[in-house]
Amino acid sequence: MAADGTSTPDARRAAPLAPLPDHRNVDTPWWQELWRRHVHITTPLRERGLECDIEFGLSAYIVRVSLPDDSYLIISPPQEPPSERPPGDPEGWIATREHPDDQELFEVVYDSAPSDDPGGPQRPEVRHGGNAQPLIEAIDHRLAQLGLLPHPPSPTTDPHVLPATPALHGPEAPDVPGTTDRAPVYIYGDAMLALTDRLNGAESHADAAALLHQILDPVNGLLERLGEFFEAAGEKAKEAEEDDGFDLSYDLADAAAEIRNLAEVLHMAEDRMRALTPLVPAPRLPSTPSLPPRALPSTSPKTAPTTRRTR
């Protein structure tokens, strides 16, 4: 829901997201899947009032961002040579600003893609790789310089609010067609709630299996990423000088191991879900003309007519 313009401590959260693209692909499953893979890029930009779309570039999918002066940003993985990583998770991001009517306007805003020349100099952004947060910060900085940032990000005193962090969203969250506009606060928890809502509304076991795949995939699934998160948290705890930092690191490492063990236990759940057969409703019998009532003959249980059961 759009903000009513009143000034409150949560006014920043109430600001509406930029609208979703308006084309027929928005309602297709393949486009929605691409959109979900890029929400950590599109959501922070839409929070700033910038309209985004997903298109195919030279060799990979890109994010196209419309700017107020009719120029646009192209945010893409490496195109030549093409990235071999999945959409939305490249080895680096390249952001350029261009204009359809001014061929001389071409500006590299950000480039964290590794150089294809091993002996050549590397841009300082290369150390960030595919991390989206430095990319968003660089775009914020450059568009603010140009006066092209409709809604500048606002600082917050709430340590749990991450205004420029990547956001993962499902179809019920603000980044997916047909949803309400509300800025994420607990963005990762909101993403899981959205995924759960989608699972509850799945129309087939195949759709449910596809959602399980998002959680259980051994390479890119949520459980694998969650294990990596707790491992990283454990390493961060070791940086402290206190003894409790090492104790905490062990607890976090145990949590990572338990999460990965859960993934191994459930590794067949996706296939088992997909193999389930839904209950088929009984066919409707054709209507017959009404007959006058008559007495029914008495029957014993052995001679009673049987009813065929359907599945």
The confidence score (pLDDT) of residue 3 equals 35
* CA nearest neighbour of 209 among 277, 144, 274, 138: 274
Rounded to whole angstroms, the Cα distance separating 126 from 46 reads 25
The confidence score (pLDDT) of residue 136 equals 94
**Residue spans of beta strands (DSSP E) within the chain:** 52-56, 61-66, 72-76, 94-98, 106-111
Q: How confident is the model at residue 283 (pLDDT cuts 50, 70, 90)?
A: low
What are the two backbone dihedrals, phi and then psi, of residue 179, each rounded to the nearest 5 degrees? -115, 165
The confidence score (pLDDT) of residue 154 equals 54
Cβ atoms of 179 and 185 within 8 Å: the answer is no
Give per-residue pLDDT as tens, 108-143. 999 998 877 766 677 788 888 888 999 999 999 999
The set of residues, in sequence order, having a beta carbon less than 8 Å from that of 298 and lying 6+ positions away, is: none
Give per-residue pLDDT as tens, 206-230. 888 888 888 988 877 889 889 889 9
Cβ atoms of 17 and 181 within 8 Å: the answer is yes
The confidence score (pLDDT) of residue 185 equals 58
More confident residue, 130 or 156: 130
The confidence score (pLDDT) of residue 285 equals 52
Distances (CA, A) of 173 to 64, 159, 176, 195: 21, 22, 6, 9
Mapped onto helix, strand or coil, the DSSP state of residue 58 is coil
* CA nearest neighbour of 58 among 96, 102, 115, 32: 96
Q: What spatial distance separates the first Cα and last Cα of the chain, rounded to whole Å?
A: 44
* CA nearest neighbour of 151 among 176, 183, 190: 183
Residue 238 pLDDT greater than 90, yes or no: no
Give the pair of three-digit tokens for residue 285.
Answer: 């019998």
More confident residue, 73 or 158: 73
Runs of H (alpha helix) within 111-221 = 132-146, 187-200, 205-216
Rounded to whole angstroms, the Cα distance separating 41 from 107 reads 19
